Amino acid sequence: MTSRLPDWTLLLVVALTVAYFLLTHEGLYALDDYFYSRYAHQLLSGTFRVEPDPLGLLHDPLKERPLIFGPVAVCYALFGINIISTTLWPLLATLGCAGLIWWLYRRREPVVAAGAMLLLGLHYFTLNLTNYLYPDNILMFWCLAGAATLLRGREPNRRAGWWGVAFAGLSFAALLSKETIVYYLPFYLGVLAVDGWQRRHGRFWGAALATGAGLLAAYLAFYHHYTHDAFYRIHLIENTNRFLQEGNYLAGNRSALLDRITWQPLTFFVRTGLGLMLVLAAVAFTRSFGPVTTAAPRGATADQPFWLGLALVTLMLYWVGSTSLSHYNPITLLPRMTTPLLPPLALAAGFGLRQMVRQAGGRALAVGLVLLLMAAWLRSAVAVVYALPGLYFVIMGLLAARPVWPAAFRPATPGLAAATVLVLAGALAIRPLYFMRKPSVSGHFAQDRLIRRYLQRPAQGVVFVDDYLIGNYDFYYGFRLPQGLQYRRYWARDSVQLRPGQRGWLLLNRATLSNDELTRKLIRYSPDSVLSWYPRRRLVAQDGPVSLFEIGSR
């Protein structure tokens, strides 16, 4: 029964991830999505410029991440330019993480595999990042693949040289996706130092270092050729930090520095639902204390400290590390910034979950009480992630070893393993399922349908739109706006004079205009006020929260 747990868990994670992707998709929702998709189109159409802006004023650092938008260009070539093909690559990377964990441990450690897939795959922010063209889940895939290659490639009876080449290639792929792969570097150097001291795995490291040196040399030569600065990307990051220094912890926010490097990361992890992973990973650290009822497979004894060590090093760098080499500035505490931490932390937590299933008792009781305290402290929707497992572990700790407890669900039995995984799956699935039922906050698909039906060639004239759509409307046309069609802001209504016979359109997206995230910073008007600006209008079509009007000259 336990041997099938990873298979069923993988099926559940894949099904929920795809369902979440389709049911909660909000279309283009941030500037990053649009820039990456535009670069993908430029790459596909042959108009992508490698060199930076001649004056060095308008260069976008996102342009230096080709493994984000490069695969998107392939998706565009295969499926056309639309929002699904735009975000297919983050979805595949997310599913790839679950597949890698399944491949690593489905036979060696089925409980670890099931637990880690659930903790990583059903973590709300893992799912949330599937339908945005952000680099974070893509980086997470490269991070997990590279770390797994380092772990497996150093095992006996492996073709160590090829595994070393693969390790270097995957690490380089991560670098071409996002710079925070550097948070894995101290751990990697530590493993190299230990192996060097013990004079082992020389073939693996020889191939990895030679391949990495070659890739890095080619990378620096590339930048030197196009920018006359081999370390251009590092300087670009530093310039970006300098531009944003008013908000960093030394120049503009010095008073908050102590809080940022002490208690704030812990509360951040608890509020985002990562407290469950942290507590279970802490259990894995205590595995050497107390009796172990069932001997661990030989491979697990090496794997567990590997993932614990990588999780600890990455966690410490997130806690007190800096985003800049020239001044100290800790990384912003945003959920999407934690994705490199998630794979090793989830796997470490999987080993902790296995330990509790084998022993139960006081350890399970302590974990349950800690989780219930987190739930009581939060008093928010996220508390359900802690409350249900917490209550379950308290009951398991109190009763699992007693005669009244059913024999099929005693410690170290397949029944208890299956029940624990089921409770974990139920608790983690509640929040994603809730968001799957919520209405759209962007109206993207309704807006797309109206544009495709009424605002395509041979339509001509001026389309008045909100301040959000004005920045990305060309995406709806595959970045090729029909000749004779112009998009202008609502604010331009007085400065745009329609010529005799020229048509005017008003595209009103009520979902966008009522979105708190946009109205708080970008949009300062309501649907009613917009309609009052255009009294001479005729409704042409309506699709959900989106309306298209034809307007006359003022």
DSSP 311-322: HHHHHHHHHH--
Structure tokens at 392: 């379950």
Strand 461-465 versus strand 504-509 pairing type: parallel
pTM: 0.94
d(CA 512, CA 510): 5
Q: What is the rounded CA–CA span in Å between residue 477 and residue 481?
A: 6
Q: Residue type at 276? A: L
**Rounded to the nearest 5 degrees, what angle is found at the Cα of 351, between the Cα atoms of 349 and 352?**
60
> What count of other Cβ atoms lies within 10 Å of the Cβ of residue 47?
9
Task: Map out the domains of the chain as residue ranges.
Answer: 4-288+298-437, 444-551
DSSP H or E run through 146: helix 136-153
Instruction: Quote the CA–CA distance of 239 and 175 in Å, as a whole number.
Output: 19
Give the pair of three-digit tokens for residue 453.
Answer: 């039906």
Provide the pLDDT for residue 335: 94
pLDDT at 476: 95
What whole-number distance in Å separates Cα of residue 457 and Cα of residue 465? 18
> Which backbone phi and psi does 548 adopt, to 5 degrees?
-120, 125
Residue type, 421: V
d(CA 200, CA 191): 11
- The Cα-based distances of 458 to 158, 415, 485, 499, 547 in angstroms read 62, 65, 9, 17, 20
The values of phi and psi at residue 486, to 5°, are: -120, 145
Return the closest-CA partner of residue 311 out of 135, 147, 129: 147
- HSE-up of residue 99 (Cα within 13 Å, Cβ side): 12
3-class DSSP state of 509: strand
Question: From residue 504, how far is each of 448, 523, 542, 545, 553 by CA, in Å?
Answer: 18, 22, 17, 20, 8
pLDDT < 70 stretches in the chain:
1, 53-59, 243-255, 287-301, 553-554
